[in-house]
């Protein structure tokens, strides 16, 4: 399984944008880039995914580098409820599996 590298932790101020980086230099052509987040004592929550093009949804934006070796999850305006562990995961086509790394713990300060 292709691996991702994320910073262990990041801090943000409330109502400011947050850029969460992820490196995935061994990504293959059919790997989707997924982001999930997990609040304390809850199951993970799907955030966004993409393959090659940048993606936007109501929760976040995903910016994918042209060579696909890195991506950035963008929270446009952080709130206290966005404090969570954010996981960047590569999902190979047809495997069905998500292999979780350690993720980035995001702290949001009021």
Rule CB under 8 A: which residues touch another protein? 32, 34, 36, 38, 41-46, 49, 51, 87, 91-103
Q: Are 22 and 10 in contact (CB under 8 A)?
A: no
Q: What are phi and psi of 74, to 5 degrees?
A: -115, 120
Angstrom distance (rounded) from CA 92 to CA 33:
9
Give the nearest distance from C-beta 25 to another protein in angstroms. 20
Give the nearest distance from C-beta 15 to another protein in angstroms. 27
Give the nearest distance from C-beta 72 to another protein in angstroms. 19
Kindly tell me which of 42 and 53 has the beta carbon lying closer to another protein. 42
Q: Are 11 and 101 in contact (CB under 8 A)?
A: no
């Amino acid at each position: 399984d292709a691996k991702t590298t994320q910073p262990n932790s990041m801090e943000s101020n409330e109502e400011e944008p947050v850029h969460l980086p992820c490196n995935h230099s061994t990504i293959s052509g059919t790997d989707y880039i997924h982001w999930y987040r997990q609040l304390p004592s809850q199951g993970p929550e799907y955030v966004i995914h993409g393959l090659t093009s940048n993606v936007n949804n109501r929760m976040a934006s995903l910016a994918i580098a042209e060579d696909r070796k890195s991506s950035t999850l963008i929270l446009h305006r952080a709130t206290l409820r966005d404090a969570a562990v954010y996981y960047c995961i590569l999902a190979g086509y047809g495997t069905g599996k998500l292999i979780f790394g350690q993720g980035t713990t995001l702290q949001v300060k009021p």
